[in-house]
């Protein structure tokens, strides 16, 4: 058995939720394949069931939708508690159960604490695959319980111009003054779609660096940084469905959590 089969939890970092899910399905196949080789055969009933997402021992947790059919922003503690309960029930047909948590970096803090408890005392044989686009949003205690794997694509370095823009935005957020953010937003109204996309990528990377203490956080609290990272993820989703640049800038001006000013 190779190492991945042994480890009970793995964080899969990918640039998009779809890519993360693809990586997780591949590992789930590896864990559930009836031939039990190093590589999944891709042909046995288990492999095929995994691919069509109908394997009874593969459980995928996703963000729920609200009563208006919109995706909720977070994965909740109830969803993780349901996983904990289920993980103690014996598998249906495979030798083990596999749990994929798609967008695990959207678990809120109570959900992450519930996940931590589960990872600290994992039921025998259960495998947990946590897909993330931003591993820094996971609690360090959760990260320390998991093996980590990055997608081959990796992250591209943000261009200097976009990083500068992102820094301007973060300084405005750190000022604790909404008017600063609105001024910043109006100042960027010449950005086109592609430049806005680059800005959001740069913002996401800069915030990750700040959360990992690779860069000065300009007095922004960890909580605020985590919320900004979540906001950036939302903007990325919106851009993917061609939401206009102006709308994104407006969102950044209106929805950014404000700091307490220059106290720190
Ligand atoms: Zn197979």
pLDDT digit string (tens) for the chain, length 264 residues: 344 444 588 899 888 898 899 889 988 998 899 987 767 888 999 999 998 899 999 999 999 999 999 999 999 999 999 999 999 999 999 999 999 999 999 999 999 999 999 999 888 889 999 999 998 899 999 988 887 777 754 445 567 888 999 999 999 999 999 999 999 999 998 999 888 988 998 898 888 778 767 688 899 988 888 889 889 988 988 888 888 999 999 999 999 988 766 443
Residues near ion ligand 1 (Cβ under 5 Å): 33, 40-41, 44, 47
- If you measure from the C-alpha of residue 219 to the centroid of ligand 1, how many angstroms do you get, rounded to a whole number? 51
- If you count them, how many residues does the chain have? 264
What is the distance between the alpha carbons of residues 231 and 213, in angstroms, rounded to a whole number?
A: 20
Please tell me the predicted confidence (pLDDT) of residue 156. 53
State residue 55's pLDDT score.
97
Nearest C-alpha neighbor of 26 from the set 15, 6, 12: 12
Residue 192 structure tokens: 């086109």
Question: Which position has the token pair 């929805």?
Answer: 255
- Asked whether the beta carbons of 208 and 202 are under 8 A apart, the reply is no
Half-sphere exposure of 137 (CA within 13 A, CB side): 29
Distance from the alpha carbon of residue 133 to the mean position of ligand 1, in angstroms: 28
pLDDT the model gives residue 87: 93
Ligand 1: centre distance to CA 30 (Å): 8
> Which pLDDT score, from 0 to 100, does residue 252 have?
95
Ligand 1 centre to CA of 45 (Å) is: 7
CA distance 102 to 23: 11
The torsion angles phi and psi of 165, rounded to 5 degrees, stand at -60, -45
- Residue 66: CA count within 13 A, CB half-sphere: 6
Ligand 1 mean position to 116 CA, how many Å?
A: 31
Distance 41 CA to ligand 1 centre (A): 4
pLDDT value at position 54?
94
**Residue 223 φ/ψ region, left for φ over 0, alpha for ψ in the -120 to 50 degree band, beta for the rest:** alpha
Three-state DSSP class for residue 132: strand
CB 41 within 8 A of CB 47: yes
The sign of the CA dihedral 212, 181, 234, 119 is: positive
Distance 40 CA to ligand 1 centre (A): 5
Tokens for 65, please give them: 């939708």
CA of 238 to the centre of ligand 1 (A): 37
What's the burial of 190, exposed, middle or buried (CB within 10 Å: 0-12/13-18/19+)?
exposed
Q: If you count DSSP H runs as helices and E runs as strands, how many of each does the chain have, helices first?
A: 11, 5
Q: How far apart are the first and last CA of the chain?
A: 50
Residues 211, 130: Cα–Cα separation, whole Å: 19
Q: How far away, in angstroms, is 31 Cα from ligand 1 center? A: 9
C-alpha of residue 47 to centroid of ligand 1, in Å: 4
pLDDT at residue 159, rounded to an integer: 78
pLDDT of amino acid 7? 54
pTM equals 0.58
CA of 115 relative to ligand 1 center, distance in Å: 29
Place of tokens 């690779």: 214
3-state secondary structure of 146: coil
Q: Which of 42, 45, 33, 84 is nearest to 61 (CA)?
A: 84
CA 103 to chain centre: 4
């Amino acid at each position: 058995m190779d190492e991945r089969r042994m480890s009970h939890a793995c964080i899969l970092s990918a640039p998009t939720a779809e890519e993360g899910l693809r990586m997780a399905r591949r590992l789930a196949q590896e864990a559930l394949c009836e031939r039990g080789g190093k590589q999944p055969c891709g042909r046995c009933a288990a492999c095929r069931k995994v691919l069509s997402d109908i394997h009874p021992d593969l459980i995928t947790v996703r963000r729920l939708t609200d009563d208006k059919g919109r995706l909720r922003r977070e994965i909740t503690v109830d969803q993780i508690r349901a996983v904990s309960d289920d993980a103690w029930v014996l598998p249906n047909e495979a030798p083990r159960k596999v749990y994929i948590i798609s967008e695990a970096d959207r678990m809120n803090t109570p959900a992450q604490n519930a996940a931590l408890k589960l990872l600290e005392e994992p039921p025998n044989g259960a495998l947990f695959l946590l897909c993330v686009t931003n591993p820094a949003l996971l609690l360090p205690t959760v990260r320390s319980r998991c093996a980590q794997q990055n997608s081959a694509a990796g992250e591209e370095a943000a261009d200097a111009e976009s990083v500068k823009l992102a820094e301007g935005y973060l300084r405005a957020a750190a000022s604790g003054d909404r008017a600063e953010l609105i001024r910043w937003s109006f100042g960027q109204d010449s950005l086109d779609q592609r430049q806005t996309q680059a800005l959001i990528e740069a913002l996401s990377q800069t915030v990750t660096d700040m959360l990992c203490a690779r860069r000065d956080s300009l007095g922004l609290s960890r909580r605020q940084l985590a919320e900004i990272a979540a906001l950036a993820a939302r903007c990325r989703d919106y851009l993917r469905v061609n939401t206009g640049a102006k709308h994104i800038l407006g969102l950044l001006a209106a929805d950014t959590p404000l700091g307490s000013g220059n106290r720190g």
